[in-house]
A and B are shown apart, each in its own frame.
Chain A
Amino acid sequence: MERDLEITLTVNGSEVTRRVAARVHLVDFLREELGLTGSHVGCEHGVCGACTVRVDGDIVRGCLMLAVQANGRKVETIEGLTDSRELAALQKAFYERNALQCGFCTPGMLMAAQDLVRKGGKASREEIRAHISGNYCRCTGYQAIVDAIEKVMNER
């Protein structure tokens, strides 16, 4: 049985092929193998949400998916969505509302927030809070984060 496998996946639009140990989770692969350090490693057991990335259009915990499971999939990270400017409005609102202090949670928070924003329509503060409930911020206390997301969703 193989402990190392060759995988080919699309990361932020580019196809990459690597040999990877089965034990490596997706976010370590992205950070250490591909140098995409925007996705953060926080709790490593699915609680904090700092490692949130998109796989085939759905947000997932980067620490709870093995890199080998991303074989053949399309992965998007904070770097990709920043370059494509998909996150521009949210990033501006986070900046203007002081929705971050240390910034450790911010990439994951933006990925989770954008997942709600891109569904279209408006959302109540309660719905916003439910959607980002899997992303921990230990500095700001969420008020400003919810403000920023609300602004982007409800002022368009």
Chain B
Amino acid sequence: MKAPAFAYAKPRSLAEALELLERHGEGARILAGGQSLVPTLNMRLSSPELLVDINGLDELRGIALSGGTLRIGALTTHSQVERSAEVRKHLPLLAEAVPHIAHVAIRNRGTIGGSLSLADPAAEYPACALALSAVMTLKGKAGERKVKAEQFFKALFETELKPGEVLTAVEFPVRQAADRSHFQELTRRHGDYAIVGLAAHRNAEGLRLAYFGAGATPVLARQAAAKRTLEEAKAALEKDLEPPADLYHSAATKMHLAKVLLERAWNAISK
């Protein structure tokens, strides 16, 4: 199908973008990479009055290391993350996750800010953000605020972003020498939506198990992560997750697969 008619604006500055978002309220949508938004327009699941194309905002680009934090600008594409030596070195979990996102042609356009803002529960980045204790920078006319991943993902496709706010960057604490991480995703074919996936990260503070495709949001399996043995962790996972069935997999199958991933991650990270 073809998208309904809409107006288009490409602001030159963030201030101009925020002004447009405020003026047009709910009729405006932010266009970043467009790899999720444009399909919804083409299928007429969404019919905004105005698209605010933020691709002219260079301040939202780039990957920069500062202190113990790697800051990734919201407009950084999946391909740029994939090719980044800084990401490979400092955030190996993210580097492992990127090739699982869709396909090359989509990774060339899709952005990290777009993926986090959309908060698809089957997407890779939101789970990585949870596992790695990322912090999102949100800017609005009222100013800037920083929100931890744990507070950011609120419900199905719902985040802490308020109307008129733009996610401008995400900051990840960089990997320490003793940290271990493991990323896995089960799909029927490469690039499909996850049946279930797991972004696992262990640092000095403990183990974090962030599941995707296993609930309405990415889910931290806190009880499983606190256990000492794998068997205890698998049993506890039943309390952490309530995966919904999809067209092909029952909730029980998904729970079983979540335990399979837990076992793989547990073994890989314990080494």
Contacts and interface: CB of A to CB of B under 8 A. Distances in A.
Interface of A: 1-3, 5, 21-23, 25, 28, 44-46, 49, 52, 58-61, 63-66, 68-69, 112, 115, 129-131, 133-135
A52 B38 contact: no
A49 B103 contact: yes
Nearest to A63: B42
Interface of B: 1-10, 24, 31, 34-35, 38-39, 41-43, 49-51, 53, 55, 79, 99, 102-106, 108-109, 189-191
Interface centre among A45, A112, A131 (most CB of B within 10 A): A45
Contact of A45 (B31, B39, B99, B191): B39
A19 B108 CA distance: 26
Nearest to B191: A133
Given A46-B35, A60-B105, A1 B42 contact: no
B34 A23 contact: no
A46 B39 contact: yes
Given A5-B8, A46-B35, A134 B103 contact: yes
Contacts of A46: 35, 38-39, 102, 106
Nearest to B5: A23
Given A1-B50, A61-B106, A133 B190 contact: yes
Given A46-B106, A129-B190, A133-B103, A69 B4 contact: no
Contacts of B7: 1-3, 22
14 contacts: A5-B8, A21-B5, A23-B6, A44-B39, A45-B43, A59-B105, A60-B109, A63-B42, A64-B35, A65-B109, A129-B190, A130-B190, A133-B191, A134-B105
Contact of B104 (A23, A45, A131): A131
Contacts of B106: 46, 61, 64, 134
Interface centre among B24, B41, B50, B104 (most CB of A within 10 A): B104
A22 B53 CA distance: 11
A69 B103 contact: no
A64 B105 CA distance: 10
Nearest to A28: B2
B123 to A, nearest CB: 14
Contacts of A63: 38, 42
Contacts of A23: 2-6, 41
Given A2-B7, A21-B5, A22-B51, A112 B38 contact: no
A33 to B, nearest CB: 14
B38 A64 contact: yes
Contacts of B42: 25, 44-45, 63
Contacts of B99: 130
B38 A25 contact: yes
Given A58-B79, A61-B35, A129-B190, A52 B105 contact: yes
B8 A68 contact: yes
Contacts of B53: 68-69
Given A49-B103, A63-B42, A3 B109 contact: no
